[in-house]
Amino acid sequence: MKIVDILVREAVVLDLESRDKRGALGELCAALAAAEPGLESAPLLEVLQAREALQSTGIGEGVAIPHGKLPGLPRLLASFARSRAGVDFESIDGAPTHLFFLLVVPEHAGGAHLKALARISRFFRDEAFRKALLEAGSRAEIVAAIEQEDARF
């Protein structure tokens, strides 16, 4: 599975305004809902918050991968957001989170969900990839960085 195949490019956010977890998740959901016809922001936010309540998806090194299963969704969707100032995402290393990769999957897509999560989390272990995302000047540069990482594996 390629991440570029599920990435909704129009939903990429260059700089989040919110500094707190709820606000950042809200912006991510709103951006994805605006770009994806038929997707509503509120139920998505609810699903993501329920997942965060189990354990934060802030995996450290300034990265979070909020994700959830949304009933009725026809296919896997992903989007990306960046916060220059950093968000308190209750990350496992306690540090502010700057890079957010959102993953939303249909209710019964357990296997594909895990594979996408595994792939995204693997991308972010690459320091050069994190740096490219932090330094990208435009949405096109962010998409290019993700495409480049996707082509490596």
Partner 1 sequence: MIVGGGLVGTTLAGKLSREGHDVSLIERRPERAAELSRSLDVRVVEGNGATAGALRAAGAEEASLVVACTESDEVNFVTGRIAASMFKVRNVVVRLRETEHQEAFAHLSRGDRVEIACVNPEAAAVEKIVSLFEVPGALDVNDFMGGALRVAGFPIRAGSEFAERPVLDMRLFFAETPSLVVAIQRGDRVIVPHGGEVLRAGDIAYFALARSDLENFLELMEARANASHKVLVAGATHLGLTLARRLEQMGFAVTLLEPDTALAQRAAEELPGALVVSGALPQLLDEEEIETVAAFVAVSPDHEDNLVGCLLAKRMGAARAFALVDNPSLASLIGEIAIDAIISPRLLSIGLTMQHVQGRRVKKVAALFGDRVEVLEAEVVQGAPVTRAPIAELDLPRGVLVVAVQREGALRMPRGEDCAAPGDRILLVAETAETAAAAEFIAPG
Catalytic, out of 67, 98, 108, 113: 67
> How many Å apart are CA 33 and CA 8, to the nearest integer?
10
> How many Å apart are CA 32 and CA 39, to the nearest integer?
8
CB of 15 to partner 1, least distance (A): 25
In 97-136, the DSSP E strands lie at 97-106
CB of 126 to partner 1, least distance (A): 11
Pick from 43, 94, 105: nearest CA to 64: 94
Q: Which is nearer to partner 1, 90 or 141 (CB)?
A: 90
| Angle, CA of 34, 8 and 110, to the nearest 5° | 105
Q: Which is nearer to partner 1, 18 or 121 (CB)?
A: 121
Q: Are 25 and 100 in contact (CB under 8 A)?
A: no
Is 153 strand, coil or helix? coil
Active site (annotated) includes residue 67? yes
> How many Å apart are CA 17 and CA 31, to the nearest integer?
12
CB of 76 to partner 1, least distance (A): 15
Residues that bind partner 1 (CB under 8 A): 51, 54-55, 57, 59, 65, 92, 110-111, 114-115, 117-118, 121-122, 125
CB of 138 to partner 1, least distance (A): 29
- The catalytic site residues sit at 67
